[in-house]
Structure 1
């Protein structure tokens, strides 16, 4: 069977626009997901108690387990359909996708943040406390700056993952890369090669970002050695 890519001369712009939308969704999502994930980590680490119950820890733990235990596609559909029914918000497909993927990413980023902070030697906190710092002050000024070195590479990997998983937004009509492939398939009646073209765009984006993150990780390790 001969693969025919002649359609690219007419429809290449569809894939380019789809790739731009994929990157936009992924960039916004990884930023929002990182902020929410950090908030979830601090909620889960909170010692605030009501009686013997730690409400913030319970809420964060339940949220993380539910998000990690259900498919992202289902979460996108729930946000898209449920935002109007439950909250009376008429969210666009793009906004719904960004909200759903950000909420999903936050559950995973919270674990990335936890692992990054736990990787910092306990002696750093003890040394800061011995200098008279409060625990919160020591965390902000001493532990977190060191933890960022551990967290950044993992956030980069999360970015790569989101680029691929954002393809699920096509089911609600978001004009990202997978949706572009479907549009071209419908216009040309060619079932396979538009998908291969889409796969090539995904590969270029994820491979390039992966190499960039590897470079950044090497630079961070070199900084640690110095």
Structure 2
């Protein structure tokens, strides 16, 4: 079988693409699906954890509320530190195989892949969201409370829309990381891009050629996503220059927009 493989490097690459191109594409599709879904769910988890971690606790609150919030924050902090402080590969082994041996839970390979990437991303996003919330001027929170808004209303209507723009680069960074880090899920049998490349390489012992193809595909995926996210950030920034609406009577009376002199019948 190996005698039919071309002798030159580019010839072997073309040979692998012709014979196993569909396998590479399927692996790339699985990689993107896991990365996108895991990042999306991880962002939802991160926003929820970040908001809860920033709930203020004062002495005026009742003792049960303070104890409850303190316990919840300790649990969430433990979750964040645990998943930020251990490799995703170890987490995959622990969750996928540990759930079977300890709790008799037989996770499907696909559910485990989505679950692992999601909770891992959620831990990183929680700290990002917390930092984004704290970066907003505290006066805006005080102003919202002064007009009677609850903490939830303040977060959803005032703070988070501004914090979202600040943390958009980190959201994109997490997506790029997840595209690359899905390769560790091959350890639990997930047939993503790395697994496909490894299988193709082992067939003809063309490791250099197969992983060259995989490297190019990874780069195309990450570069495309980074350009799209950069475009989204630019759209969120809005135009560079803003003009006050000339129909606003307040701006007209301030002298910024002169009144048009009305013609009367005597003119």
How does the TM-score come out when normalised to structure 1? 0.91
The equivalent position to 2:24 in structure 1, one of 3, 8, 15, is 15
* Aligned equivalent of 2:120: 104
Q: In the alignment, what sits opposite 2:192? A: 176
- Look up the SS of the partner of 1:89 in the other structure: coil
Alignment-derived partner of residue 63 in structure 1? 79
| Residues 136 and 172 of structure 1: CA distance in aligned 2, closer, same or farther (over 3 Å) | closer
Question: Could you tell me whether the CA contact under 8 Å between 1:68 and 1:107 is conserved in 2?
Answer: yes
Residues 23-102 of structure 1 aligned to structure 2 (within 5 Å): 23-46=32-55, 47=57, 48-50=65-67, 54-102=70-118
Asked if the contact 1:160–1:209 (Cα under 8 Å) also holds between the matched residues in 2, the reply is yes
Q: Structure 1: 5+ residue runs without aligned partners? A: none
The answer to whether the 8 Å contact 1:153/1:216 transfers is: no
8 Å CA contact 1:116, 1:150 repeated in 2:
yes
- Give the deviation of 1:67 after TM superposition: 1.1
CA contact (8 A) 2:92 2:116 kept: yes
The ranges of structure 1 where at least 4 consecutive aligned residues each deviate by more than 6 angstroms after the TM superposition are none
Aligned partners of 2:51, 2:237: CA distance in 1, in Å?
26
Q: Is the alpha carbon distance of 1:199 and 1:143 closer, same or farther for their aligned partners in structure 2, counting shifts above 3 Å?
A: same
Q: 1:164 to 1:225 in 2, by over 3 A?
A: farther
Write the deviation string for residues 32-54 of structure 1: whole angstroms up to 9, x where unpaired: 11121122223323444228x81
- Corresponding residue for residue 159 of structure 1: 175
Partner SS state of residue 50, structure 1: helix
Across the aligned residues of Structure 1 and Structure 2, the Cα RMSD in angstroms comes to 2.0
1:140-170 CA-partner distances (Å, limit 9, x unpaired): 2211222222233321221111000011111
Q: Distance in 2 between matches of 1:101 and 1:133?
A: 35
Partner SS state of residue 192, structure 1: helix
Q: 1:225: how far off?
A: 5.8
Residue of structure 1 aligned with 2:219, choices 190, 203, 226:
203
- Equivalent pair of 1:45/1:57 in contact (CA under 8 Å): no
Structure having the larger proportion of residues in helix: 1
Q: What is the TM-score normalised by the length of structure 2?
A: 0.78
**Is contact 2:51-2:130 (8 Å) kept?**
no
* Partner residue in 2 for 1:140: 156
Distance 1:139 1:171 in 2: 40
**Greater Cα offset, 97-106 or 71-80:** 97-106
Partner of 1:217: 233
Structure 1 counterpart of 2:137, from 91, 116, 121: 121
Residue pair 1:40, 1:110 contacting (<8 A) in 2 also: yes
Greater CA radius of gyration, 1 or 2? 2
Query: Equivalents in 2 of 1:133, 1:78: separation in Å?
Result: 43
